[in-house]
Amino acid sequence: AGVDPGMLEKADRSPVTIADFGSQALVCRSLAESFPDDPVVGEENAAALRQPGQSVFLDRVGQHLAGRGVVADGKTICDWIDRGGGASCDRFWTLDPIDGTKGFLRGGQYAVALALIVSGRVEVAVLGCPGLGVVDDGGLVFSAIRGAGTRVSPASEPGDSRPVSVSDCTDV
């Protein structure tokens, strides 16, 4: 059932937005290019988008992607989203395309959360936070690699990263 033009309601009555679908499509597309053999366990699937009555919503997802320079037909977009229907195994990626959808809908904080799991351990984690830092530049991206620490960079300049450290401030 549609709640508003930019959001659908899942069976559990939680919202799913154009941004959820678009984010999952973009991340799964990129993972397919860089790691074609790795499954992705994502939060969304394209079943609702494949329904004939949802063509307008799917078109809006396509417009969202095109605004980021990725042009594709509806079937391809749905296939990218459904790549997130993989199963956990010895090596897989797990994705929450918009962690905090309700916050996103209120214009508050949310994140795109991605992790590489190998033998049951998180080896790589990435957290995109569009509402932090310089929002006009896409926010901040935090990345962590087991044994190599955590870094933060502006989303618009991923190569311009710096180490993340814990503040020694005790009087907040």
- Cite the active site residues: 20, 101
Contact (Cβ atoms closer than 8 angstroms) between residue 151 and residue 164: yes
Q: How far is CA 13 from CA 2, 8, 9, 77, 102, in A?
A: 11, 9, 5, 24, 12
Q: 81 — phi, psi (to 5°)? A: -60, -45
| Adjacency order of strands within the sheet including 91-99 | 40-42, 91-99, 111-118, 121-129, 140-145, 149-154, 162-163
The Cα–Cα gap between 116 and 102 comes to 25
Which is it for strands 140-145 and 121-129: parallel, antiparallel or unpaired?
Answer: antiparallel
